[in-house]
């Protein structure tokens, strides 16, 4: 009897280990789930969206591996992102204490954490990017921007959020929506001209007045190709945050059913 129990336990352990290895393999080379914790990509992505990111879309680097293991270097099977892709990438962000002050190491240097960002590819290597009066310019040409109905959403606190909304048409013809909470008077609505270095990309959030992105060179800046994680593909779940995990009776009203299985453009 004890041998049977021992054999059953060993089989269970093997099954769990194999399942974990398969899951890790899939997350490394195929798809990885991500959630959206901030509003920098509104209206395309909302806080509470959960999405799958294709890890193979641009090839593989150390950041395709769990915990970004391995040496810094190039990409294997590298593919070039298209302008307009929504991309997850790694950014080094200064660690801060409870008072918002940078945390320093023993040599007095800021300690940085590597975090995931999600933005839209706007500039390719060699491109000239500038924002003038809220209008995006690529290689000296103003990008077409058409005003549509305001973006309106009920926040988790029960407030109505409203912002001017536009459809932006990139040079290759791809379209996407953006919002401008501060109209064309935001902090980054008038910028210098940026020239994207070789092997780098220029990223911007669709929520133009509330996005830390490549316009801020000291925070994000130009994103190296080897820090790309993958391309956002589809929303597999979305919740509006109105129901806590234990409030099971509220779940049906907290799920944004209209967003389930939406492709990300």
The catalytic residues are: 40, 119
Instruction: Identify which of 178, 185, 164 has the alpha carbon closest to the alpha carbon of residue 208.
Output: 178
| CA distance readout (Å), 117 to 67, 90, 223, 238 | 15, 6, 11, 18
Q: What is the CA radius of gyration of the chain?
A: 21
State the residue for tokens 């064309």. Answer: 184
Is the link from the previous residue into 246 a cis peptide, with omega within 30 of 0? no
| CA distance readout (Å), 216 to 31, 63, 108, 231 | 30, 23, 24, 22
Find how far residue 251's CA is from the centre of its chain.
Answer: 26
């Amino acid at each position: 009897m004890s041998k049977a129990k021992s054999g059953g336990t060993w089989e269970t352990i093997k099954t769990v280990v194999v399942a974990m290895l398969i899951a890790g393999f899939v997350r490394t080379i195929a798809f990885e789930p991500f959630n959206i914790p901030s509003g920098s990509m509104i209206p395309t992505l909302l806080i509470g969206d959960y999405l799958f990111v294709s890890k193979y879309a641009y090839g593989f680097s150390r950041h395709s591996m769990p915990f970004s293991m391995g040496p810094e270097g190039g990409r294997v099977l590298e593919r070039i992102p298209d302008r307009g892709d929504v991309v997850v990438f790694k950014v080094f962000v200064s660690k801060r204490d409870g008072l918002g002050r940078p945390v320093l190491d023993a040599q007095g240097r800021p300690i940085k954490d590597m975090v995931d960002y999600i933005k839209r590819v706007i500039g390719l290597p060699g491109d000239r990017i500038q924002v003038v009066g809220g209008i995006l310019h690529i290689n000296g040409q103003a990008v077409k921007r058409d005003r549509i109905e305001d973006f309106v959403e009920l926040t988790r606190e029960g407030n109505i959020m409203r912002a001017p909304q536009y459809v932006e048409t990139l040079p290759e013809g791809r379209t996407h929506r953006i919002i401008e909470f501060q109209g064309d008077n935001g902090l980054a609505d008038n910028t210098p001209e940026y020239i994207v270095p070789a092997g780098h990309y220029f990223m911007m959030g669709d929520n133009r007045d509330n996005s830390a992105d490549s316009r801020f060179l000291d925070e994000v800046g130009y994103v190296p190709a080897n820090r790309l994680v993958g391309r956002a593909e589809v929303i597999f779940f979305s919740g509006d945050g109105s129901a806590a995990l234990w409030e099971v009776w509220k779940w049906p009203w907290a799920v944004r059913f209209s967003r389930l299985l939406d492709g990300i453009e």
